[in-house]
Amino acid sequence: EGALPRPARRRVLTVANQKGGVGKTTSTVNLAAALAVHGLKTLVIDLDPQGNASTALDIDHRSGTPSIYEVLIGEVSLAEAAANSAQSPNLFCVPATIDLAGAEIELVSMANRETRLKEALSAEVLDQIGVDYVLIDCPPSLGLLTVNAMVAAQEVLIPIQCEYYALEGLGQLLSNIELVQQHLNRELSVSTILLTMYDGRTKLADQVTNEVRNHFGETVLKTVIPRSVKVSEAPGYGQTVLSYDPGSRGAMSYLDAAKELAERGANEKRSTSA
C-alpha cells in the first residue's frame, strides 16, 4: 500500500470533545490504524478509563497491566507501557485500565498535575520508539486528564457528530483550549475538525455539515465519516474498520481523512487557532 508523507516534525494530536459518543475513540483508532498501515509510526494513548481505544486495538488492559495510569503517577515509563498492536508493526498503544478512573482525583494533589503526560511524552522516549504521530484519546470531560492531553499536544482534533446539538458545548471546549493556550501551552491550536456519523438520508446532517464548515472553514477536513454499521461492529472483534472490512465505506473514509491529515502535516499547514 502507498505510503503517506511523514510529518515535517512529530505531531501530537489530542482528540477531544467533552460530549460522549461523538466518535472520539472511533476516530482515534481508525485514523491511527490508517496512518500506521501507510508507513507512519503511530502511538495511541488511551486516556479514557473506559479503555475503549485499547479494546479496539486489542491491547490487554486488565487492571494491573502497565498502563497510562502507572505512567501518570510515575511508576513506569511510556516506553514500558506501550504495546504493539497486532494490526500493524507501526501501531502502538498505551492502554487505559479501570485504575485510571481514580487518577482524575489522585492527580489533584500531585506536583505538576497538568504537565505529567507532557513529561512522560518526552522527545527521548518518542525518539526511542521512532514515533511520527501521537493520538491521544480523551475521556468525555474537561477534567485534569483532558488538560494533561492538551498540555502534551500541539494540536487538537475535534470530532463533531453530524447530529442535533452538534455545536452545543463546543464553546466551552474552545474556551478551555484557550485557557490552556494562555497558561500552559502556547503552542496548542485546533488544527482539525472531523465530521463523523454522517447520515446522507437526513437533511439535518447537511445542515450541521454546512454550519460547521461556515463556522470553522479550512479547519474542517473535506472528508466526512459516514454512519456505517461496519465501523461500529469492528471494536467488538478487537479490530479497527480498516482491518475488519478494508473495502467498506467506513474504512475508505477514515483512510481519506488520514491522508488529508498527513498531507496537512507534511506542509506544516496549521490553519486556525481556537
Q: Give 146 or 219: the residue with its C-beta nearer to Mg ion.
A: 146
Draw the binding track, 209-248, toward ligand ADP (x: CB under 6 A; -: no contact): ----------------x-xx--xx----------------
Binding site partner of 197, from ligand ADP, Mg ion, none, Cβ cut-off 5-8 A by kind: ligand ADP
Residues in the chain: 274
Q: Which of 68, 150, 180, 197 binds ligand ADP (CB under 6 A)?
A: 197
Draw the binding track, 174-213, toward Mg ion (x: CB under 5 A; -: no contact): ----------------------------------------
Least distance to ligand ADP, CB of residue 104, Å: 17
Say how many residues touch ligand ADP, by CB under 6 A.
17
Q: Give 26 or 97: the residue with its C-beta nearer to ligand ADP.
A: 26
Q: In what order do the strands lie in the sheet with 133-137?
A: 83-84, 91-94, 42-46, 133-137, 11-15, 155-161, 189-198, 220-226
Least distance to ligand ADP, CB of residue 67, Å: 18
Using CB under 6 A, which residues numbered 120 to 179 contact ligand ADP? 140
d(CA 22, CA 140): 9
What letter would DSSP give residue 101? G
How far is residue 212 from each of residues 83, 165, 215, 256, 265, measured CA to CA in Å? 36, 12, 5, 19, 22
Binding site partner of 22, from Mg ion, ligand ADP, none, Cβ cut-off 5-8 A by kind: ligand ADP
Q: Give 7 or 176: the residue with its C-beta nearer to Mg ion.
A: 176
d(CA 223, CA 39): 21
Helix, strand and coil content of the chain, in percent to the nearest 5, comes to 45, 15, 40
d(CA 232, CA 44): 19
d(CA 53, CA 111): 28
Q: Does 21 contact ligand ADP by CB under 6 A?
A: yes
Using CB under 6 A, which residues numbered 59 to 118 contact ligand ADP? none
Q: Does 23 contact ligand ADP by CB under 6 A?
A: yes
Least distance to ligand ADP, CB of residue 163, Å: 11
Mapping DSSP to helix (H, G, I), strand (E, B) and coil, where does residue 230 land? helix
Residue recorded with cell 481508525: 30
Q: Which residue is nearest to Mg ion (CB)?
A: 25
Residue recorded with cell 477534567: 143
The residue type found at 259 is K
d(CA 10, CA 66): 25
Q: Which of 10, 11, 19, 24 binds Mg ion (CB under 5 A)?
A: 24
Binding site partner of 231, from Mg ion, ligand ADP, none, Cβ cut-off 5-8 A by kind: ligand ADP
Please give the residue ranges that form the binding site for Mg ion (CB under 5 A): 24-25, 52
Please give the residue ranges that form the binding site for ligand ADP (CB under 6 A): 20-26, 52, 140, 196-197, 225, 227-228, 231-232, 250
